[in-house]
Amino acid sequence: MHPAKSVIFFTTGSGAGYGMLIWLAVLSLVGLQPADTFYGLVAFGIAFGLVVGGLVSSTFHLGRPERAWRAMSQWRSSWLSREGIAAIATFGPTGLFALAWVILNENQSYSVGLGIIGAVMSLITVYCTSMIYGSLKTVPAWFTKWTRVAYITFALMTGAVLLWLVSVLFNLPQAPIIGQLSMVFIVLGFVVKLFYWRSVDNAPATSTAESATGLGKLGKISLVEAPHSEDNYLLQEMGYRVARKHSTKLRKIALALGFVVPFILIALAIYGFPQFQLIIASIAVFSGIVGIVTERWLFFAEAKHVVTLYYGESAI
């Protein structure tokens, strides 16, 4: 599939933003977040900025972005509509939670209840986003439970790492705990991604050129001549290919920069060089961004749509 930049930013950016909103509520519930105005402004500013930026960027991939609002009318059958409705609904409780935190310096009692409701809505929104892709039977690489698990795990992982950076910036005494939490979810994300790739690589073909054309009884089917003299929309969007050697190299880069390097750097910041933790945290976040963007690019680039069986693919 064609890895559009807008969709990559949408799925990674909004996921990290929702992850931050979840952790802001959960950690407040257990007393690990200070009800400080400036801290709240920065933390919620980053979270809402990523969420809004991601949602807006997702419309850039539409043919008629000005009609994006109409997609929400199809909530009975469309996960895209459900995702849009859930995203809008999430702003209510999370916005009130943020206002209570920033204006009233209150993130306990009644306000944390709003935060938890917002956290649940954030999880629902991320799940709906994952199902936009995970519900497509026509893309076998996405039609797996690991798509849903990966989206939710990565949202919690990236949100935790970003919140750790903010806590380090403000020199919070709770920063080491948030860093340890980040390390746990980095390990979980690493394992989930390995299982996802293993599942995709070892999955038997669900469709072949023979089954797609209905000519299997005649024997092996092969493409004699291309259906078109030049690329059309289907080939541009659905027929994107990445060489196996590049795919293998990019997978290693995604694992190294998105998981291994941030894990090591967080451990160094907590246990080795706490005096340099802000610099280390900044490098860890930058590395994580590059790695996760690479992972998400591969998520789209490696996926094959069954329509490509009519354009030369032998099995999917």
Written as six digits, the tokens of 104 are 């009233």
Judged by DSSP in three states, 292 sits in helix
Tens of pLDDT, residue by residue over 71-129, are: 677 788 889 899 999 999 999 999 999 999 999 999 988 899 999 999 999 999 999 99
User: Which pLDDT belongs to residue 236?
Assistant: 67
Q: What is the DSSP string of 193-259?
A: HHHHHHHHHHPPPS-BHHHHHT-GGG-----SS-S-SS--HHHHHH-----HHHHHHHHHHHHIIII
**Under 8 Å CB-to-CB from 100, ≥6 apart: which residues?**
106, 107, 110, 111, 114
Whether residue 56 is predicted with pLDDT greater than 70 in this model: the reply is yes
Whether CATH 1.20.1630.10 fits 5-311: yes
Residues 227-263 as b/e (b if ≥16 CB within 10 A, e otherwise) read eeeeeeeebeebbbeeeeeeeeebbeebbebbbebbb
Query: Does residue 244 carry a pLDDT above 80?
Result: no
- More confident position, 67 or 169: 169
Read off the DSSP letter of residue 258.
I
CA gyration radius, the chain: 22
Q: pLDDT band at 210, cuts 50/70/90?
A: confident
Let me know if 102 is exposed, middle or buried by CB neighbors in 10 A (0-12, 13-18, 19+). Answer: buried
What is the greatest pairwise CA distance in the chain? 74
CA dihedral (248, 188, 45, 49) in degrees, to 10, reads 40
The one-letter amino acid code at 48 reads: F
Helices (H) and strands (E) in the chain, counts: 11, 0
| CA end-to-end distance (rounded Å), the chain | 13
Q: Whole-model pTM? A: 0.92
Where residue 234 falls among pLDDT bands split at 50, 70, 90? low
What are the boundaries of each domain within the chain? Answer: 5-311
Per-residue buried b or exposed e for 73-85, using 16+ beta carbons within 10 Å of the residue's own CB:
eebeebbbbbbbb
Residue written as token pair 């306000």: 111
C-alpha span between 289 and 267 (Å, rounded): 18
- Structure tokens that stand for 168 in this block: 């380090």
Among candidate residues 195, 149, 185, 196, the one with its CA nearest the CA of residue 263: 185
The percentage of the chain sitting over the pLDDT mark of 70, rounded to a whole number, equals 91
